[in-house]
Structure 1
Amino acid sequence: MKLKNTIALALGVILVSVSTNAQKTAFKKDEFKQWAQTPPMGWNSWDCYGSTVEEHEVKANADYMVKNLKKSGWEYIVVDIRWFVENDKAGGYNQKDPRYVMDQYGRYLPALNRFPSAKDGQGFKPLADYIHSKGLKFGIHIMRGIPKKAVEEKLPIKGANGITADQIYTTELQCEWLKDNYTILADKPGAQEYYDSLFELYAQWGVDFIKIDDLSRPYHEGEINLIRKAIDKCGREIVLSTSPGETPISAAAHVSSHANM
């Protein structure tokens, strides 16, 4: 299969990589700046497949990259938006009746009809293992915030001593173009624990890159602080890219001290 629209991952995308150390270790301040000192080069499923990419397509593009591009520095394979929706559509998003897949803690999981290797609760680990076996790195996309479904069902937040999703959200500043999630109130008990639980999961999967959407316009400083702390605690080097672009100049100092891209 021909790799289409191979791109250098542009400014506004966050890369996440995980330490080989099995134990969690907190990274030193600003250590993350060493993880992507030049613009990462790779392929993102959005440009060819939108929100409908499937596992076999991701693997085919990884195979192409190894054969044709790895020697020139290309190394990231990134699964973009809505990998947790079973019935999304091409040319837009199914916001009428999406079937979300998530665990008991309100964390999205790969849709099995699109990513069959995620069976038995394995998540993206088998796919990440395949990518890593090729000498490449694996990335995913998420939206900022907490799933509306988790709020509606009052799902517990892992590690938050009984705090539930409905206690840490607000409808203010909800993403205008995709309504899957609500904004997280960064100062609420349980907010940090929710992001901590996300990156604990992604570290277990072997994620090396993460693009987090709807962080930059407007600039969500509170949630970015939560994300930075969660990455630093997860024990895996995770290159962080904020998205989309056009981060306000007034936030330049903050984003440079919290994100890689």
Structure 2
Amino acid sequence: MRSSIFFLSIFILAFFTSCQPKKTIKTFNKDEFKSWAQTPPMGWNSWDCYGPTVEEHEVKANADYMAEKLKAYGWEYIVVDIRWFVENDKAGGYNQTDPHYVIDEYGRYQPAVNRFPSAKDGKGFKELANYIHNKGLKFGIHIMRGIPKVAVENKLPIKGTDGITADQVYSTEMQCKWLKDNYTITANKPGAQEYYNSIFELYAEWGVDFIKIDDLSRPYHQGEIELIRKAIDQCGRPIVLSTSPGETPIEAGKHVQKHANMWRMVDDVWDTWPHITHLMDICQKWYPYIASGTWPDCDMIPLGRISIRGERGNDRMTRLSKDEQYTLITLFSIFKSPLMFGGDLPSNDEFTLSLLTNKEVLEMHRDGINVHQLFQKDGKLAITSKNSITGDIYLALFNISDSPVEVAVELNKIGADSNCKVIDLWTGEEISTTSDTFGRELAAHACGLFKLRQ
């Protein structure tokens, strides 16, 4: 019975696909993709709060909140994370024993209609994307690298080829260890490029603006990344590419910078202090790669209400203290990481909202250049950058230790002196300086973020 339903679904999807009018597709040059994310992308992702179970009404509720409260501050992406094509997934561990996949006749996943009702009649994510676009926002999805096992098992044809089927392009080598939906695509096999072309053609038709592709970074799948970059560039729609998860090897830094708009430096970041300090350590390798259009990615922001139906712990507000939350947002912002909020936006309290709507901090995130670490030692960290428009100097001071400590810098090391005007970006307080050094006594796990103007 299940087999009959599967092939009936394929027939129905094939009918609607064949009715679509043909159109001319624009192609982009190899470097044009960098113009699609000239500043670090900012948005919301469903993973931290809904895991693999998010539903359409929840996506819309987060889009509504963003349009009302965050859009004016530069937030714009709404991203549906993992396994939107599975009808019966559960939080707290993937249902891998009997997943009910939704897939078309060319082996391309489709949204599960029981979770995304607007996808009925073969419309995919088109109507949900339209809903988000009509609010002045952008729409994104998550996929796994590779080709679906169910497409291989049923020898489904690859669109754009002369008779090549899914079972002719796959390999079981380097299959994802933690999610077995897909097989590896062997990059040099006939039909491999065409398969990636076919899925990005579909995503462009739906109106996708952002794609997060999982299991690309560790180990680093150079061949598939190049297939993906080429497929995006010829799909006719600017689609920001985010590779995931980390740890992306630093040896691949130049390659990933050439092919992706953002790439993960670490595994998933959750709401514990060791996750933050580990991220600080890893960031040290990636400062030279911060550049317009290509951004090292600190991962999603695990603040607000998370794990409603998530993968780590029970439904909760973030376990990080307020000092630790300031530290996380300050690090992400001065480092110019993409900002992808992981909590359920409609559940935000006023404090969480204030972390996302500080105009001065977001100006630093947008306009900062020459980001670099001054030091990280003895439980102290200092990072600086400069506003590319005003010339103002930014300084972030962090106490990584478990006891109060003073963190200070010599002003001449950051291009300032004792006559500068100092403003605390989180409080708005103006601080006078009379010394050639500037510092602050910081509580354990706390930080300070300052703007210095001569």
Q: Distance in 2 between matches of 1:177 and 1:73?
A: 34
Q: Which residues of 2 match residues 1-261 of structure 1 at below 5 A?
A: 23-261=24-262
Identity %: 81
Report how far residue 92 of structure 1 moved. 1.6
Report how far residue 129 of structure 1 moved. 0.2
Identify the structure with bigger relative contact order (alpha carbons < 8 Å, sequence gap 6+): 1
1:161-197 CA distances to partner (integer Å, 9 max, x unpaired)?
A: 1000000000000001000000000000000000000
1:116-174 CA distances to partner (integer Å, 9 max, x unpaired)?
A: 00011100000000000000000000000000000000000001110000000000000
Q: Distance in 1 between matches of 2:41 and 2:258?
A: 18
Q: Distance in 2 between matches of 1:160 and 1:229?
A: 17
Q: Distance in 2 between matches of 1:155 and 1:109?
A: 15
| AA of the residue aligned to 2:201 | E
Q: Distance in 1 between matches of 2:134 and 2:152?
A: 38
Q: Distance in 2 between matches of 1:172 and 1:36?
A: 33
Q: Which residue of 1 aligns with 2:371?
A: none
SS at match of 1:95: coil
Q: Distance in 1 between matches of 2:237 and 2:118?
A: 22
1:72-98 CA distances to partner (integer Å, 9 max, x unpaired)?
A: 111000000000000000112100110
Q: Distance in 2 between matches of 1:57 and 1:89?
A: 16
| AA of the residue aligned to 2:75 | W
SS at match of 1:77: strand
Q: Which residue of 1 aligns with 2:424?
A: none
| AA of the residue aligned to 2:81 | D
Return the structure number with greater strand share: 2
1:8-65 CA distances to partner (integer Å, 9 max, x unpaired)?
A: xxxxxxxxxxxxxx63111012010111122111000001100000000000010011
Report how far residue 238 of structure 1 moved. 0.7
Q: Distance in 2 between matches of 1:38 and 1:172?
A: 37
Q: Distance in 2 between matches of 1:72 and 1:258?
A: 28
Deviation >3 Å, runs of 4+: none
Q: Distance in 2 between matches of 1:129 and 1:216?
A: 31
Report how far residue 249 of structure 1 moved. 1.1
Q: Distance in 1 between matches of 2:141 and 2:50?
A: 14
SS at match of 2:37: coil
Unaligned runs of 5+ in 2: 1-22, 263-454
Q: Distance in 2 between matches of 1:174 and 1:29?
A: 28
Q: Which residue of 2 aligns with 1:13?
A: none
SS at match of 1:26: coil
User: TM-score, length-normalised on structure 1?
Assistant: 0.91
Q: Distance in 2 between matches of 1:150 and 1:80?
A: 21
Number of residue pairs the alignment of both structures matches: 240
| AA of the residue aligned to 1:177 | W
Report how far residue 202 of structure 1 moved. 0.1
Q: Distance in 1 between matches of 2:153 and 2:29?
A: 37
SS at match of 2:107: coil
| AA of the residue aligned to 2:102 | V
RMSD between aligned residues: 0.7
1:182-230 CA distances to partner (integer Å, 9 max, x unpaired)?
A: 0000000000000000000000000000000000000000000100000
Unaligned runs of 5+ in 1: 1-21
SS at match of 1:141: strand
Q: Distance in 2 between matches of 1:76 and 1:194?
A: 26
